[in-house]
Structure 1
Amino acid sequence: MSSIRGDLKGRFARSYLGGFWFLLHPLMQALIFSIILAEIMRARMPNVDSEAAYPIYVLSGMAAWGLFSEILNRSLNIFIEQASAMKKIAFPRLCLPIIVWGNALINHVLLLVAIAVIFLFFGHLPGLAWSYIVPGMVLISAMAFGIGVFLGVLNVFARDIAQIMTVAMQLWFWFTPIVYVKNVVPAKFQAVIDLNPMTGLVGVYQNALLLNQGPSLRSLIPPVIISVVAVLASFAIFRRASPELVDAL
Structure 2
Amino acid sequence: MLRSLWQYRYFMLSSIRGELKGRFARSYLGGFWFILHPLAQSLIFSIVLAEVMQARIPNMDNSAAYPIYLLSGMAAWGLFAEILNRSMTIFIEQAPALKKIAFPRLCLPVIVWGGAIINHLLLLLAIAIIFIFFGHYPGRAWIYVPVGIVLISALAFGLGVFLGILNVFARDVGQIMTVILQLWFWLTPIVYLKAVMPQKVQAYINLNPMTGLVAIYQDALLLNQAPNIATLIPSVIVAGIAVAASFILFRRASPELVDAL
Deviation digits for residues 149-203 of structure 1 (CA, Å, limit 9, x no counterpart): 0000000000000000000000000000000011111111111000001000000
Deviation, 1:116, is 0.2
Q: Give the residue type in structure 2 aligned to 1:121.
A: F
Deviation, 1:11, is 1.6
* Identical-residue share of aligned pairs (%): 75
Q: Which residue number in structure 2 is paired with residue 179 of structure 1?
A: 191
Deviation, 1:48, is 0.9
Q: Give the residue type in structure 2 aligned to 1:40.
A: V
Residue 224 (str. 1) matches residue 236 (str. 2) = yes
Q: Which residue number in structure 2 is paired with residue 51 of structure 1?
A: 63
Deviation, 1:224, is 0.3
Q: Distance in 1 between matches of 2:87 and 2:27?
A: 23
Q: Distance in 2 between matches of 1:131 and 1:180?
A: 25
Q: Which residue number in structure 2 is paired with residue 158 of structure 1?
A: 170
Q: Which residue number in structure 1 is paired with residue 260 of structure 2?
A: 248
Q: Which residue number in structure 1 is paired with residue 200 of structure 2?
A: 188
1:176 aligned counterpart, secondary structure = coil
Q: Distance in 2 between matches of 1:89 and 1:210?
A: 47
Residues 1-249 of structure 1 correspond to what in structure 2 (within 5 A)? 1-249=13-261
Deviation, 1:124, is 0.3
2:60 aligned counterpart, secondary structure = coil
Q: Distance in 2 between matches of 1:79 and 1:164?
A: 17
Query: What RMSD in Å do the two structures reach over aligned CA positions?
Result: 0.6
Q: Give the residue type in structure 1 aligned to 2:214.
A: V
Deviation, 1:12, is 1.5
Report the TM-score, using the length of structure 1 for normalisation: 0.99
Q: Distance in 2 between matches of 1:235 and 1:17?
A: 38
Deviation, 1:97, is 0.2
Q: Give the residue type in structure 2 aligned to 1:166.
A: T
Deviation, 1:51, is 0.1
Deviation, 1:229, is 0.5
Q: Give the residue type in structure 2 aligned to 1:226.
A: V
